[in-house]
Amino acid sequence: MRQCTVSFVDTSGIRHSVEVQADSMYGAAAAALETFHEHECSPGVRSQLEIQVRSAVTHMLTMKKLKDWAALAGGSPRDVILKGRMKRVLARECVTRAEDSPGGRRAGSAVT
């Protein structure tokens, strides 16, 4: 089952939304209609139901793994561009950390 948001706009222009659990688009619509009916705000015959399937994906990636991937040669043209961008970002991070470390140059300090 997936988390879904089902909504519609009534004849007064008010949007009504409900969160439901369902295995299909039709299951989500049926569950939502039951809830709308319980709250006395059922959609009309010409109403259009908007059904949004919620999905949250979380990935964890270590900085070492990220640096190793950026250092790999080749890949698709898209990967090559992304790796170049990642290398520039990682290089800026290293410079910022070095400047903020004890003995390093801090932001706003003069270089003599």
Q: Residue 13 sits in which domain range?
A: 2-53
* Packed helices 63-71 and 77-100: angle between N→C axes, nearest 10 degrees: 130
- The Cα–Cα gap between 102 and 110 comes to 15
Q: Which of 12-21, 37-46, 96-105 has the lowest mean pLDDT?
A: 96-105
| pLDDT mean across residues, the chain | 85
- Residues 13, 42: one domain? yes
Residue 111 lies in a domain: no
Residue 109 lies in a domain: no
Buried b (16+ CB within 10 A) or exposed e, 27-51: bbbebbbeebeeeeeebeeeeeeeb
- Residues 49, 82: one domain? no
Secondary structure of residue 99 in the 3-state scheme:
helix
- What's the total number of domains in the chain? 2
Residue 77 lies in a domain: yes
Torsion sign (Cα): 68, 69, 75, 80: negative
- Residues 6, 48: one domain? yes
- Residues 11, 46: one domain? yes
Residue 110 lies in a domain: no
pLDDT level of residue 56 (50, 70, 90 thresholds)? confident
